[in-house]
Chain A
Amino acid sequence: MLLKAFFPTCCSSVDSGLLVGRWVPEQSSAVVLAVLHFPFIPAQVKELLVQVQRASRVDVAVLGTWCHSQQEPEEPLGHFLEGLGTIFPHDPWLQLCRERGSNSWSCKVSCQQAPAALGVPCEDQVMLIFYDQRKVLLSRLHPSAVLPDHQAGDAPASTRGLAAVFDTVARSKELFRSNQFNEGPVRLSHWQSEGVEASILVELAKWASGPVCLLLACLLSLVSAASTCRVFKLWPLSFIGSKLSTCEQLRHRLEHLTFVFSTQKAESPAQLMRKANMLVSVLLDVALGLSLLSWLHRKNRIGQLADALVPVADRAPPVSLQHVAEELQHLLQWLMGAPAGLKMNRALDQVLGRFFLYHIHLWISYIHLMSPFIECILWHVGLSACLGLTVALSILSDIIALLTFHIYCFYVYGARLYCLKIYGLSSLWRLFRGKKWNVLRQRVDSCSYDLDQLFIGTLLFTILLFLLPTTALYYLVFTLLRLLVITVQGLIHLLVELINSLPLYSLGLRLCRPYRLAAGVKFCILKHEAGRPLRLLMQINPLPYTRVVHTYRLPSCGCHPKHSWGSLCRKLFFGELIYPWRQRGDKQD
């Protein structure tokens, strides 16, 4: 197999020395991590290598020699370099050479073992692959199958394909500790040889994060302990808590914050990304909420909103609760007449119409009762926006649910009536044909009825059949209204889900530091001369945005509509009540 030598670009112009790195025999590739300069004491070099091996579980060894001189090395230097091969036995022994000031490289491989194992070493059998050490160190490979998790510290470095190179460089942090400003026994050149890079702000943040996390973790544990106290488990509060989406959202956010500020360190890079994503999501949420709050309080918008909802004086604003109620009344009057030219059954029509009109009358009186308090309620609700835009949107969704409660009630009445009618009709239709539903066997069986049974049954069937259009029309109208409300609530929930689950930190990382999230590598062939080894540049191929979102999505609340369109239509036809989303923990239908 062709021998591949991975050489860091930062070492292309350093002085001559020894090549230190890892040899991966399965891939026949030599990953050079650093260059060790003359003069050195072989015993100290071996000691350093043993130390690094123990700390990082990577088989670091001396792979060969590096020569950066004016012209081709003279004979004595050449022999000296080969002689080093006896002090540091390594098979195969690499000899890389570069002319100062030009781009001509040469590479020789010699091995003590029988040549048949590796093929005859000659110029064509070595490939030089340059890589940017800092980028390879910081990046994470994302194979298409599964989210990568850093291997446990005890497992040896991987040997599969290019992941071996990434793994080797990532684990060799121990080797990169010493730089040329250290007074150590050996002088190494690698990407940090100009001095360790660090940012003061980052270091300060790391120091401060310890106590801050501790404090916030205590506060959050207090809050969660308060929320799980006995009072909230009593029936009315627990029922309300499970139905309101605000409580669900607050619980979700509390979980997120507890995870972010937990005092345990992140075990794997995936967990670290998740923490970072959650933190950025919470911060963005709060920022958007505060901007919404400032917008609301400017120019007394809350007062305007309150006026729009409930008419205080004799003005008639375009949208108000009373107006909506009056529109409903008009709708019912229309249904009680001859809607769309259909002829209704007068008596049933009047009964149903009067029943619903009475409800609306109650509702209007309720609104009149509430009107002085609306502005105060709105102001307090607006304050909740500082907890986050998602909380404000959840409260909006709950307010819509509460304000359209009468529509929900009408829908339930209409649906139950229609459902009873349909079941009655289907059962009596079976009687009409002389069949019966066998509950034991769960199937339709023939049955012989008495004459009076048949008579009454047929009579009831006819009555139900002729009353069907009226009930069906009421059911249709109220179901459409209910579906409209559900659509609005669904859109709000979708927006909340989007804010909750979008991995903003990962997207930002992909935008600003694309080499951190790697989908793979790409190679670029550098200028090639005949007789010289082939030189390639290895660059990192960043992950596409869709895969970033897919891989790093935060887990959502779990409130998804569980019906398919087919089952939804079926339920609508038979008049069964539809609950568009189930909260977590509810049993399935």
Chain B
Amino acid sequence: MEEERSFSDICGGRLSLQCRYYSPSCREFCLSSPRLSFRSLTAVTCTVWLAAYGLFTLCENSMILSAAIFITLLGLLGYLHFVKIDQETLLIIDSLGIQMTSSYASGKESTTFIEMGKVKDVVINEAIYMKVIYYLCILLKDPVEPLGISEVVPVFQSAKPRLDCLIEVYRSCQEILAHQKDTSTSP
């Protein structure tokens, strides 16, 4: 079952959330950010090339122009491969674990999988970052202390959705976690 809704992030940009319910024990949430806009790309390229042309008229060295082209290309490739995250996915599978995938604009995907045995809970935290923002995070169990928390793993860090979107995801996750706790054989 698939559902697509549209939300906004903390800066006001548009986000689109796709929820897929594969089975009562497996759900996937896919948050897509808007792609790289043509306008910003042309603006940056024009500024860099104008600056390079200005330097060229001062120095009369054509190496500056080729260097500017080179830098623009490398910068764009680096930005697409290492910085621009197009889609963030959260896959939660009952009794297996939680998987977070970030897909970059160049197609690179970076995945982290947390086993269900390590997950203590999924919560929405408040943070103060020039204003109050909310973020969803996964709390991991501490192997030494049974009631303690060893790590807090934030989810959807680059998309930064608002509270309404987070509540949707939170509710679904809590359903699965509750189901998992009910049927879990270990205490």
Write the residues of chain A forming the contact surface with B, with a CB cutoff of 8 angstroms. 1-2, 4, 25-26, 28, 117-119, 124, 127, 129, 160-162, 520-523, 525, 528, 534, 536, 541
Contact = CB atoms under 8 A, between A and B. Distances in A.
Given A2-B183, A162-B115, A523 B99 contact: yes
Contacts of B113: 520-523, 541
B96 interface: yes
B106 interface: no
A527 to B, nearest CB: 10
Nearest to B109: A522
Nearest to B115: A161
Contact of A119 (B23, B28, B183): B183
Contacts of A523: 91, 93, 96, 99, 113
Given A2-B25, A528-B22, A26 B186 contact: yes
B183 A161 contact: no
B54 to A, nearest CB: 36
DSSP majority for the A interface? mixed
B37 interface: no
Contacts of B185: 1, 25-26, 28, 117-118
B24 interface: yes
Contacts of B86: none
B111 interface: yes
Interface residues of B, number: 24
A522 B97 CA distance: 10
29 contacts: A1-B183, A2-B25, A2-B95, A4-B95, A4-B96, A25-B185, A28-B95, A117-B185, A119-B183, A124-B25, A127-B26, A127-B93, A160-B117, A161-B115, A522-B99, A522-B111, A522-B113, A523-B96, A525-B22, A525-B28, A525-B91, A528-B23, A534-B22, A534-B23, A534-B26, A536-B96, A541-B111, A541-B112, A541-B113
Question: Among the interface residues A118, A521, A523, A541, which one has the most CB atoms of the partner chain B within 10 A?
Answer: A523
Contacts of B184: 1
B88 interface: no
Contact of B95 (A1, A521, A536): A1
A515 to B, nearest CB: 14
Across the A-B interface, give the 7 residue pairs with the lowest CB-CB distance, nearest first.
A522-B111, A2-B95, A161-B115, A1-B95, A534-B23, A528-B22, A520-B113
Interface in B131-187: 180, 183-186
Contacts of B25: 2, 124, 127, 534
A223 B94 CA distance: 62
A277 B118 CA distance: 34
Contacts of A117: 185
Contacts of B115: 161-162
A487 B30 CA distance: 52
Contacts of B91: 523, 525
